[in-house]
Chain A
Amino acid sequence: MAAVEVAGLVKKFKETTALAGVDLEIPEGSVLGLLGPNGAGKTTVVRILATLLRADAGTARVFGKDVVTDANQVRSMIGLTGQYAAVDEYLTGQENLEMIGRLYHLGKADARQRASTLLERFELADAGNRIAKTYSGGMRRRLDIAASLIARPKVLFLDEPTTGLDPRSRIGMWEFIGSLVAEGTTILLTTQYLEEADRLADSIVVIDHGKVIARGTSDELKSQVGGHRLEFTVDDAADLPVMLERLHPLAVDDPVVDEQARSLSVPVLGGADVLRDALRRLDGSGVNLVDVGLRRPDLDDVFLILTGHASEAGTPDAAPAAAGAPGGRHAKQESPADTDQVKKGGRR
């Protein structure tokens, strides 16, 4: 039996359609990445599964239990971490966890024991007796996740667990999630960060405007987009037009020039042979190459191609995003940790 089964889920809020028929299935012990821009409907799916919201049509089940008719049984099997750390600021870390444990109907001693264990595990043991008001954003987020784990849920819903975290905390969070996965917890993870889904999810469902637009493993999605890209960085941006002219015959789609980054990205078919061919074409052009690369598409490309807009929605510059995204990837290769800054840089 699948841990989570969602079929034909529809939800409307007044005029807007949040979900227009979403289907998904999560096998027990696996991680599903639910990927999409802001407003795509990710949180709505999570809220319906967590029994917080009723769908207008369709069904959602957790280990065969319906989220509406068997709501209480579903609740005792799930853990929810929302987009904002839902911790009681006036209770200590320990008290927060014990309270949630007791509300899951763990015994007093068990709740206390679990709370201590989890504080230890989430590196909050030293802060366990301080009130949560004094915690940093990252600490609150960890406490929030610890709270959702207190009753050893079979299924965990993580709604954008790293949104708003600094790059270091984000990597820490990924490690925590990784360890949960290793223990066999079934996880539904929503994220706007492709890198996150790529790294954590066994399979990925991409939704946009309340519809599933793609699904599969990260590799499958990448091959769906197909092809490679040749990427060049030059010493002098003035060389770019010459390169563009010489390499244009290899392109299977429009090449992207980023003058600021002094880079050129050319979509091609084929692998190393094309790279050799390209370098031959540049012979004698006098172009001074700083960096040359052959790159498989990443989920950024997948997203761009599937949705027609870049991965982080809500940015006003949807049109230049197509030109900007490759620049972003270049920068990303230079500093892989700092995705936030990178994406903003690439957008300009």
Chain B
Amino acid sequence: MSSLAQTIGDGAIITKRNLLKIKRVPELLVFATLSPIMFVLLFAFIFGSAIPLPGVDYKDFLMAGIFTQTVVFGSTITGASLAEDLQKGLIDRFRSLPMARSAVLVGRTNADIGNNVVTITVMALTGLLVGWRIRTSVLEAAAAFGLLLLFAYAISWLMALVGLSVKSPEVVQNASFIIIFPLTFIANTFVPTDNFPPVLKAFADWNPVSSVTLAARELFGNTSPALPPPDVWPAQHPVLYSLIWIVLILIIFVPLSVRKYESVAGR
């Protein structure tokens, strides 16, 4: 069997195994979908009531940001699950099998695309219920969702390395919060960045979370004509800038994670 075919075949077996867990522990899915619903409602009604934006309904402005934040947070599942497999000795077992070296990680990150699809769907429906509207075409909306999923996929590979390195699901959660919170808040996710202090604004301008959010926002037609036009390159080309980040993250973290997997020791 060629190594590519083997990777796909073995990866599919692991993907199926990971997806079965969702079926076996439906509570996981319930909570995974409840929290995005809660976030949409909280932000829409609490922040929305206090953040007047010229030219756009806050609920429209919010959705792209909250989608991005949620999929980034969701990527911690990748790391936590791998850390759990490692703790339980499953990674040791997989590593002793004649399977493709990348299959466990491919299977994990694939399954997490599934998780993200469910989460995004639930959030989108909640958003639509409270008044969010896609003001462009189906195609552009699909492109926005695709970009969000791609970005989440790339971050998953980064989190895979974290999970294999720290080896404890709890540490993955705690450690990633410290990084993900600033990353998703020092950005244009919930408020426009124009009034940020200069240092934070510079960070927000070049933050990939901002560009993914802005790209999705534009593709959904949720931008405000009344806000000043972007003055930095990433904000002028959000889709391209996002894709550059996605490719960069994958180029760096796919090989690093696979290499880590090849030498990692459980327990």
Contact = CB atoms under 8 A, between A and B. Distances in A.
A300 interface: no
Contacts, number: 66
Nearest to B95: A52
B98 A72 contact: yes
Interface stretch (A21-29, A83-91, A209-217, A330-338): A83-91
A6 B5 CA distance: 34
A130 to B, nearest CB: 11
B25 A102 contact: no
Interface stretch (A74-82, A178-186, A250-258): A74-82
B265 interface: yes
Interface in B70-103: 88-90, 92-99, 103
Interface string B242-267: 00000000000000000000010101
- Taking chain B's interface residues, is the majority helix, strand, or loop, or is none over half, making it mixed? helix
A63 to B, nearest CB: 14
A26 B45 CA distance: 71
Interface range on chain A (Cβ under 8 Å from partner): 20 to 34
Contact of A82 (B1, B89, B98): B89
Contact of A91 (B10, B17, B92, B97): B17
A50 B96 contact: yes
Contacts of B95: 51-52
A100 B267 CA distance: 21
Contact of A131 (B17, B24, B98): B24
B237 interface: no
Contacts of B263: 54
B6 to A, nearest CB: 8
B216 to A, nearest CB: 33
Nearest to B88: A86
CB-based closest 5 A-B pairs: A86-B89, A76-B98, A75-B98, A86-B93, A90-B21
Given A82-B89, A90-B21, A99-B13, 20 more contacts: A52-B96, A52-B265, A53-B265, A78-B96, A82-B92, A86-B92, A89-B88, A90-B24, A91-B24, A95-B17, A95-B20, A100-B93, A102-B13, A103-B13, A103-B94, A104-B98, A105-B1, A105-B6, A105-B98, A131-B24
Interface of A: 47, 50-54, 72-73, 75-76, 78, 80, 82, 84-91, 95, 99-100, 102-105, 131, 147
Interface of B: 1, 6, 10, 13, 17, 20-21, 24-25, 88-90, 92-99, 103, 263, 265, 267
